[in-house]
């Protein structure tokens, strides 16, 4: 069925607003604004500004709120400003007192917000948000007192059973947040270094153009032609790639020599902006690393640079299907009652099993007790971790390291326990999928190391805020169901009462809410 709408469009003056100029309390942004403890971290954010110098800075609520809006909606900086300007609920979320059609700040301010709000500050806000939304731990009885009688034999005591103060489950895992860079190869990296060095030569030559007879020759057209001759080939033999690497290394070495001579002729590095100066330092490191690998016929080196614009990014060998190597920040994550925490983040590769004990201790700090079980991947099951968990009475998921038992019943129990543990551990994989598919963990667009870390922490915070928002809905539905059950009981009681007075309720199969009252 289709009904023709009224022809034409009403003027915006006649457009009807049902809320009468007031915001709805049931809106998601209104509820999220009540969840975040803005005032608790206001002083921490304000401590980095001067009290009497400079223009007044934007408040903490506006800065953090803008980053949350951007991450939750998955939009760009400019689109974030447009959404804030058009939506009164977003302006309320930022702490504004009244709606304004003028943007509260420029899109470039989001870059400064990401620099001012550090990873540690966002993590502290996340801890506070989760702590307020964490369900209270049930009261447990104290462990029974041990008998005063002791055995006289000298045999080793049995393994201590988990004490009653061990509650809950801790799920841990590690992942990588890929940076926004193209897949790096040595030939592409050297070509980028050559092009960037040519731009620096052009910039420095402008300072001493009157002192030198002519501009240094860089052979940029020849170098570009040599590079394209190799990369355009469908099959590239190793010998051909090494030839291209030596050619590009020679071009970069010549350009760096020209830069040194320009500096000797009177050009100053102070005339370069901070980004150009940083690029020059990165080019020197890239040339040193690539020359060392070419001379020694190696394919790896420590602290390898894979991007000129983002030199902090390192290759992270993960061994996953389809993506054995990722390029970004690696981080450890803890999942407790559906909430996530980032316990460790580094741009260098590391073994995540080294931080398991620290993650368990942080679980104890957050909840006041150790977990009854820890669900982790096989890489966490080292001898040191198993020994420590055994001493603390914590069960670490997975089969024991000892030789398998010959008892079929015991093996069946172990297999069933392993399946149950894996069904619990898979929850953290869902969190990774949510962060990478729904939010920005799949590709971090921030270019600086500090801002990228902030965006990763913001993603974790938004995921927890989403869970808090869903809890509001669940609580509302529970209250509604409880009220409907009470109403149904009242209807049944009222039906029995009215039937004695000659009144009946006609049941049309639509439940007690849709019953039609009639006089019998």
Q: How far apart are CA 330 and CA 345, in angstroms?
A: 6
Residue environment code for 235-251, b if the CB has 16+ CB neighbours within 10 A, otherwise e: eeeeeebeebbebbbeb
* Residue 516 binned pLDDT confidence (cut-offs 50, 70, 90): very low
Please report the DSSP string for 40-56 in residue order.
GGHHHHHTTS-SSSSSP
Tell me the per-residue pLDDT of 423-473, one tens digit each, with 9 for 90 and over. Answer: 899 999 999 999 999 998 999 999 999 999 999 999 999 999 999 888 766
Q: How confident is the model at residue 147 (pLDDT cuts 50, 70, 90)?
A: very low
Write phi, then psi, for 346 (nearest 5 degrees): -150, 150
Assessment of whether the complete model's pTM goes beyond 0.85:
no
Per-residue pLDDT reduced to its tens digit, 465-499: 999 888 766 555 666 677 666 656 555 665 565 45
Percent of the chain with pLDDT over 70: 80
Give residue-wise pLDDT tens across range 381-392: 999 999 999 999
Contact present, 84 and 102 (Cβ < 8 Å): no
What is residue 506's DSSP assignment?
E
**In the predicted model, is pLDDT for residue 67 greater than 90?**
yes
Cα separations in angstroms, 293 against 38, 82, 298: 51, 49, 5
What lies within 8 Å, CB to CB, of 51 at 6+ separation is none
Query: Reduced to 3 DSSP states, what percent helix, strand and coil does the chain have, rounded to the nearest 5?
Result: 55, 10, 40
Please state, in angstroms and rounded to a whole number, the distance separating the CA atoms of residues 128 and 274. Answer: 37
Terminal-residue alpha carbon distance, the chain:
39
Determine the pLDDT at residue 507.
Answer: 43
What is the model's pLDDT at position 275?
A: 93
What is the DSSP code (8-state) at residue 308?
S
Per-residue pLDDT, averaged over 318-342, amounts to 89
> Which residues are within 8 A (CB) of 383 and not within 5 positions of it... i.e. 6 or more apart?
401
Tell me which of 488 and 99 has the higher pLDDT. 99
% of the chain with per-residue pLDDT over 90? 61
| Inter-residue contact 366 to 127 (CB < 8 Å) | yes
Centre a 10 Å sphere on the Cβ of residue 408 and count the other Cβ atoms it contains.
8
Highest mean pLDDT among 226-230, 502-506, 507-511: 226-230
What pLDDT does 511 receive?
Answer: 43
Q: What is the pLDDT of residue 154?
A: 43
DSSP assigned state of 510: S
Cα–Cα distance between 223 and 247 in angstroms, integer? Answer: 8
Determine the pLDDT at residue 151: 41
Q: What is the pLDDT of residues 154-212, one digit of tens each?
A: 444 444 444 457 888 999 999 999 999 999 999 999 999 999 999 999 999 988 887 88
pLDDT higher at 26 or 13 = 26
pLDDT at 146: 45
pLDDT at res. 510:
40
Sketch the domain layout of the chain as residue ranges: 18-117, 186-295, 478-519
Cα(466)–Cα(421) distance, rounded to whole angstroms? 26
Tell whether the model's pLDDT for residue 98 goes beyond 80.
yes
């Amino acid at each position: 069925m289709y009904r023709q709408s009224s022809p034409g469009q009403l003027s915006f003056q006649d457009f009807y607003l049902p809320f009468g100029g007031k915001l709805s309390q049931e809106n998601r942004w209104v509820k999220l604004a009540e969840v975040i403890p803005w005032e608790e971290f206001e002083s921490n954010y304000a401590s980095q500004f001067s009290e009497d110098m400079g223009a007044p800075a934007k408040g903490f609520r506006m800065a953090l709120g803008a980053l949350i809006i951007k991450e939750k909606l998955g939009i760009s900086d400019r689109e974030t400003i447009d959404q804030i300007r058009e939506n009164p609920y977003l302006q309320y979320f930022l702490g504004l007192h009244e709606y304004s059609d003028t943007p509260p700040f420029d899109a470039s301010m989001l870059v400064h917000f990401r620099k001012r709000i550090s990873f540690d500050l966002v993590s502290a806000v996340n801890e506070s948000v989760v702590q307020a939304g964490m369900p209270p731990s049930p009261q447990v009885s104290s462990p029974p007192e041990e008998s005063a009688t002791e055995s006289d034999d000298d045999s080793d005591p049995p393994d201590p059973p988990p004490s009653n103060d061990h509650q809950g489950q801790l799920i841990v895992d590690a992942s990588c947040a890929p940076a926004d860079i193209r897949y790096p190869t040595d030939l592409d990296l050297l070509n980028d270094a050559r092009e960037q060095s040519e731009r620096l030569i052009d910039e420095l030559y402008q300072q001493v153009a009157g002192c030198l007879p002519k501009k240094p020759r860089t052979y940029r057209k020849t170098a570009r032609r040599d590079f394209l001759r190799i990369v355009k080939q469908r099959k590239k033999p190793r010998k051909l790639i090494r030839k291209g690497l030596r050619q590009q290394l020679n071009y970069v070495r010549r350009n760096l020599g020209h830069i040194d001579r320009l500096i000797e002729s009177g050009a100053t590095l102070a005339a370069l902006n901070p980004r150009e100066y940083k690029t020059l330092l990165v080019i020197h490191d890239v040339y040193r690393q690539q020359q060392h690998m070419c001379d020694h016929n190696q394919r790896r080196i420590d602290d390898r640079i894979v991007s000129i614009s983002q030199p902090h990014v390192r290759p992270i060998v993960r061994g996953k299907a389809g993506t054995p190597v990722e390029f970004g920040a690696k981080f450890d994550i803890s999942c407790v009652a559906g909430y996530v925490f980032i316990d460790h983040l580094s741009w260098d590769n590391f073994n995540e099993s080294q931080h398991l004990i620290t993650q368990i201790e942080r679980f104890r700090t957050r909840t006041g007790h150790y977990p009854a079980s820890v669900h982790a991947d096989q890489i966490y099951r080292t001898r040191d971790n198993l020994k420590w968990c055994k001493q603390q009475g914590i069960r670490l998921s997975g089969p024991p390291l000892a030789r398998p038992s010959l008892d079929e019943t015991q093996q069946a129990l172990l297999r069933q326990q392993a399946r149950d543990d894996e069904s619990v551990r898979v929850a953290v994989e869902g969190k990774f999928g949510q962060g990478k598919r729904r939010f920005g963990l799949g590709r971090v667009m921030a270019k600086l190391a500090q801002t990228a870390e902030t965006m990763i922490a913001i993603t974790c915070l938004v995921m927890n805020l989403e869970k808090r928002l869903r809890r509001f809905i669940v609580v509302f539905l529970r209250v509604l169901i409880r009220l409907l059950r009470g109403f149904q009981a009242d209807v049944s009681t009222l039906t029995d009462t009215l039937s004695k007075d000659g009144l009946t309720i006609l049941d049309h199969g639509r439940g007690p809410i849709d019953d039609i009252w009639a006089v019998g």
